[in-house]
């Protein structure tokens, strides 16, 4: 939470018509473009760095640093990218295909948080200064969908500053690229005080059209009331994460407008399913390893109550851990019944815990809409099934490493699907943690047969057959109850009248798209 003095400092100075003062609940975890696969981190970095392809508000792919792309006519295991000419980095050096090769190799090499997206890549080569070939282990017709958050950085700058590989965020590794940048994006970093204030100014050497916003003052404000008060007082212009309890009031406030839409993100809980004993439980074994306990938890979750009471109607309850517009989603997966606490308590007793058991639940308090309140609601629901939960809430910079380092028994996570395809979920959350796979598989779930199917869909050209395999994977995942899904998150942005900014399905608004009336 920002104190009053810090807030005053962050907002000091009046904005002019070309300055946009942007606030949201949390800061980027790092400015390294490949270290962490996390939404707010990508959102800020998208203004400084660029990708080969982008994702528009309507979900379609758009050209960025690549002007053309497609599968090679000579070899269907190769994707060919034509690199935009005349692009320069912020330090004035020209971008070439060699920078693209370096960046893709860096992104696909652990401990990069992006490596699972490129697990099928075998080689990246520069054919000439403006042509890059990406050779995969087999035909991969959807590979380009994996590139919307893979940023291109300068090979020379990285080598000069000793950041040829991405720093390990989960291990707390520090590096020059964590706080310093050199991208090709429309804005340059001019000031950085993590969790307090970041200032970006327009890059005059950018290849694209000049944006209306020439300066961005980005201020993370974790406290919901402070965030809204800053907008109402005119200290900020745009609030990205509008608290659900304030949406109606802001919609009725003169001088303020609210835009809304569904986010490509689901909120769910997961648990250690395989350890012999849980570190934070009084049980002598691992209750989560038992199907009866996982079923009891599912029977205890009242999604509609969370929607009505916690989210004020601003969510789409579902049992499927992916949004409806992602390939692989079905109505059958999405369906859920009413809670049955009596049966849930019986199942816990049948599993060998007649008096129930205790366990810690790790929850972020500054990442998702009402994240801590959702966790608190679940604690009360599980108590009725004799599962006594101790809630441990903390900032997301501490929360995510718990999952990545397997230091949590039970946790909340939100997951977007920027590829709009189920493989993204499988690669990061379901596949056994090995090599580039399973970096956010905090459940320790491991199914070799399922792993083989997950790897196979990366290079399947028959899309109908591929969809059938995806359905088989989801059938097993849902049967094993790897996820306790709550809902698909809804978005609301609030801004001063005279500003237009559309809701982005990835919750990655681009301030280059802002217009002033």
pLDDT of residue 325: 87
pLDDT of residue 13: 37
196 exposure class (CB count in 10 Å sphere: 0-12, 13-18, 19+): middle
pLDDT of residue 8: 39
Closest to 255 measured CA to CA, from 514, 494, 515: 494
Task: Please give the Cα distance from 498 to 516 (Å, whole number).
Answer: 5
pLDDT of residue 17: 53
Average pLDDT, the chain: 94
Decide the pairing of beta strands 151-152 and 50-51.
antiparallel
Q: How confident is the model at residue 2 (pLDDT cuts 50, 70, 90)?
A: very low
Q: How confident is the model at residue 236 (pLDDT cuts 50, 70, 90)?
A: very high
pLDDT of residue 9: 37
Task: Please give the Cα distance from 122 to 175 (Å, whole number).
Answer: 27
Q: Are 492 and 243 in contact (CB under 8 A)?
A: no
pLDDT of residue 1: 27
Mean pLDDT of 329-346: 97
Domains, the chain, in order of start with CATH, read 4-48+162-256 (3.40.190.10), 55-160 (3.90.76.10), 263-490 (3.10.105.10)
pLDDT of residue 505: 86
Q: How confident is the model at residue 208 (pLDDT cuts 50, 70, 90)?
A: very high
Residue of 205 and 15 predicted with greater confidence: 205
Q: Are 101 and 159 in contact (CB under 8 A)?
A: no
Chain segment 434-444, per-residue pLDDT in tens = 999 999 999 99
- Going from the C-alpha of 94 to that of each of 84, 87, 97, 133, the distances in angstroms are 11, 6, 10, 20
Residue 100 reports pLDDT greater than 50: yes
- Going from the C-alpha of 433 to that of each of 170, 362, 457, the distances in angstroms are 15, 20, 18
Of the listed ranges 11-15, 194-198, 373-377, the least confidently predicted one is 11-15
Look-up of token digits 């816990």: 348
Chain segment 37-78, per-residue pLDDT in tens = 999 999 999 999 999 999 988 888 999 999 999 999 999 999
Q: How confident is the model at residue 6 (pLDDT cuts 50, 70, 90)?
A: very low
Residue ranges of alpha helices (H) inside 384-462 are 396-404, 423-425, 448-457
Predicted model pTM: 0.87
Tokens of 352: 């060998």
Residue 307 reports pLDDT greater than 70: yes
């Amino acid at each position: 939470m920002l104190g009053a003095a810090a807030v005053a400092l962050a907002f000091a100075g009046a904005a002019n018509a070309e300055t946009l003062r942007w606030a949201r609940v949390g800061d980027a975890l790092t400015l390294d473009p490949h270290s962490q696969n996390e939404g707010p981190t990508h959102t800020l970095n998208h203004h400084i760095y660029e990708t080969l392809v982008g994702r528009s508000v309507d979900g379609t792919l758009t050209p960025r640093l690549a002007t053309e792309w497609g599968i090679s006519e000579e070899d269907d295991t190769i994707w060919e990218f034509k690199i935009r000419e005349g692009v320069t980095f912020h330090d004035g050096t020209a971008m070439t295909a060699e920078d693209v090769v370096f960046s893709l190799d860096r992104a696909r090499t652990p401990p990069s948080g992006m490596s699972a997206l490129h697990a099928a890549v075998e080689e990246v080569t520069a054919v000439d200064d403006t042509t890059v070939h990406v050779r995969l282990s087999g035909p991969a017709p959807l590979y380009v969908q994996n590139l919307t958050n893979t940023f291109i950085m300068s090979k020379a700058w990285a080598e000069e500053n000793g950041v040829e590989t991405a720093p390990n965020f989960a291990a707390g590794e520090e590096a020059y690229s964590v706080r310093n940048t050199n991208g090709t994006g429309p804005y340059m970093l001019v000031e950085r005080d993590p969790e307090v204030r970041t200032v970006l100014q327009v890059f005059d050497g950018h290849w694209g059209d000049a944006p209306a916003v020439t300066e961005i003052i980005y201020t993370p404000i974790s406290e919901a009331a402070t965030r809204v008060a800053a907008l109402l007082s005119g200290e900020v212009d745009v609030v990205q994460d509008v608290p659900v309890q304030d949406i109606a009031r802001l919609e009725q406030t003169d001088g303020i407008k609210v835009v809304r839409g569904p986010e490509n993100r689901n909120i769910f809980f997961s648990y250690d399913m395989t350890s012999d004993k849980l570190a934070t439980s009084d049980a002598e074994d691992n209750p989560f390893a038992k199907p009866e306990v996982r079923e009891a938890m599912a029977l205890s979750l009242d999604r509609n109550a969370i929607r009505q009471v916690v989210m004020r109607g601003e969510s789409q309850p579902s049992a499927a851990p992916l949004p409806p517009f992602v390939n692989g989603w079905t109505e059958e997966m999405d369906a859920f019944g009413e809670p049955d606490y009596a049966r849930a308590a019986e199942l816990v007793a049948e599993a060998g815990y007649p008096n129930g058991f205790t366990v810690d639940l790790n929850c972020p308090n500054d990442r998702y809409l009402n994240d801590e309140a959702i966790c608190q609601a679940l604690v009360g629901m599980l108590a009725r099934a004799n599962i006594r939960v101790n809630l441990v809430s903390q900032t997301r910079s501490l929360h995510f490493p718990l999952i990545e380092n397997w230091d949590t028994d039970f946790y909340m996570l939100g997951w977007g699907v920027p590829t709009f395809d189920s493989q993204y979920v499988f690669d990061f959350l379901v596949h056994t943690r090995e090599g580039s796979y399973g970096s956010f598989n905090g459940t320790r779930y491991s199914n070799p047969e399922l792993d083989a199917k997950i790897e196979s869909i990366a290079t399947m050209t028959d899309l109908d057959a591929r969809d059938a395999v995806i359905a088989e994977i989801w059938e097993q995942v849902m049967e094993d109850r790897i996820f306790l899904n709550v809902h698909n998150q809804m978005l609301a942005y609030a801004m001063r009248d005279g500003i237009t900014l559309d809701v982005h399905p990835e919750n990655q608004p681009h301030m280059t798209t802002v217009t002033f009336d």
